[in-house]
Amino acid sequence: MTLTRQDAVALDAADPLAGFRSAVVIDDPDLIYLDGNSLGRLPSASLHVADHVVREEWGRGLVRSWQDWIDRPQQVGDLLAMHLLGAASGEVLICDSTTVNLYKLLAAVLDERPGRRVIVTDDDNFPTDRYVVQGLAAQRSLELRVIRADPVHGLSMRAIVEAVRDDVAVAAFSHVAYRSGALLDMAAVNAVAAGQGVRVVWDVAHSVGAVPVHLHDDGAELAVGCTYKYVNAGPGSPAFLYVRSDLQDRLRSPIWGWFGQRAQFEMAECYDPEPAVTRFGAGTPSVLGLALVAAGVRSLADVGIEALRAKSVALTSLVVDLADDWLAPLGFTVVTPRDPARRGGHVALAHRDAWPICRTLVEQRAVIPDFRAPDIVRVAPVPLYTRFVDVWDGLDRLRDLVASHAHVLAGTPSPPRVT
């Protein structure tokens, strides 16, 4: 039997996390935001943090503030490591974008092991990851071995075992698949790779802040990710990279920047990188961005990632149940693993009219999911600020929209530049 709206309201009343919704800015109470896996909401505290950094640290402190700013990439990295990544202090650096960090870590491993001529990734990996890997393979004349991923369940261990052999230098995998939401078994993949002497660079952009990430316990050596999705640090906020401590003096960034230099302000003649994660820094970091990353991490740390995950599982399970009951008869298919332990924080719904449905849902019904070509509507009920009744109402509006053919009547202009 499907949950009634009353039941959803009751679930919210009993939700121990309900009070944390006020930790973010909710500008329009009627708007149902289901796209926090693309751009997280604004934490209320970030308004004050941004004001302080701009007005006091920059406006008043001027260049003197660099005494404090200089260590922030590592300090905020420590915060992220402790609360959301299961890594140790000194292993995470906030810098650059996920794309650039992925390039740096992959290139560092390739430089470390010139004898191995293969890079592995999969055909459903995030576009920027696939492009970076393609670029490195082309620039260095390496073989690119691309695993075929199942569009719903992601990578099978069998396919990984077949591809990750001892001719491979490095593999790039996403922990949670951006489209289907399939969650890869990080520990199992690392064990396979370690058995063949292969390093793996994990992209945790779609898992950090959504599912507990245990880099250390799961045997991860290297990882990258972004902070503007579930970590709520704002558009274009700086990304992070993780290098396990024992690898830090063995791997070198391909970008020999001054922010990686030992005793940076001695302005030495030659590059001599820090024997620490900071060696993967390149140029001057975004100080405002760093402050917002710290505020974003704190917005989640106050709740705790385990509690967030528990509510996220309940919310995504509700999406799946309502989709089966209401949306399957309208032509939707759930294309996310049904076992909550095998998925991240969002649910993908396939429909042949996914684009016009998404567009009219935003424009006419005040529900914001997102569209992923060619036929997917992604629904991310982010547990920090999404109520059970939001999921109920959001899917009810979606059901009504499609049942009444409003998306067809609205016409179908092609997608804009950003979906």
Ligand X SMILES: *Cc1c(COP(=O)(O)O)cnc(C)c1O
Decide: 101 and 229 in contact? Cβ < 8 Å. no
Question: Which listed residue (96, 203, 390, 396) is catalytic?
Answer: 203
Residues 301-320 within binding reach of ligand X (CB under 6 A):
none
Structure tokens at 78: 């420590």
**Active-site residue, 242 included:** no
The least CB distance from residue 204 to ligand X, in Å, is: 8
Gap between the Cα atoms of 137 and 191, Å rounded? 24
By the rule CB under 6 A, 128 interacts with ligand X: yes
Which own/partner pairs from 12-21 qualify as long-range (CB within 8 Å, at least 24 positions apart)? 12/387, 12/388, 12/389, 15/311, 15/387, 15/388, 16/307, 17/303, 17/307, 17/308, 17/311, 17/383, 17/384, 18/387, 20/302, 20/303, 20/384, 20/385, 21/384, 21/385, 21/387
By the rule CB under 6 A, 178 interacts with ligand X: yes
The least CB distance from residue 113 to ligand X, in Å, is: 24
Cβ-Cβ contacts under 8 Å for 22 (sequence gap 6 or more): 44
Neighbours of 68 (CB within 10 A): 12
Nearer to ligand X, 239 or 402 (CB): 239
By the rule CB under 6 A, 353 interacts with ligand X: no
Question: Which listed residue (72, 145, 229, 387) is catalytic?
Answer: 229
Which position among 83, 199, 206, 365 is part of the footprint of ligand X (CB under 6 A)? 206
Query: What mask of x and - would describe binding to ligand X in positions 17 to 36, judged by CB under 6 A?
Result: --------------------
Residues 233-272 within binding reach of ligand X (CB under 6 A):
239
By the rule CB under 6 A, 129 interacts with ligand X: yes
Structure tokens at 173: 């995998």
Cα 214 to chain centroid distance, Å, stands at 15
Residues 76-115 within binding reach of ligand X (CB under 6 A):
97-99
By the rule CB under 6 A, 203 interacts with ligand X: yes
**Active-site residue, 229 included:** yes
Nearer to ligand X, 98 or 360 (CB): 98
**Active-site residue, 203 included:** yes
Residues 212-231 within binding reach of ligand X (CB under 6 A):
226
Q: How many chain residues interact with ligand X (CB under 6 A)?
A: 13
The least CB distance from residue 323 to ligand X, in Å, is: 22
- Name the nearest CA neighbour of 243 among 69, 72, 112: 112
Gap between the Cα atoms of 316 and 314, Å rounded? 6
**Active-site residue, 7 included:** no
Gap between the Cα atoms of 352 and 199, Å rounded? 39
Structure tokens at 163: 């591809």
The least CB distance from residue 34 to ligand X, in Å, is: 16
Nearer to ligand X, 129 or 353 (CB): 129
Quickly tell me which residue has 């941004």 as its tokens: 50
Active-site residues: which are they? 126, 203, 228-229, 378
Residues making contact with ligand X (CB under 6 A): 97-99, 126, 128-129, 174, 178, 203, 205-206, 226, 239
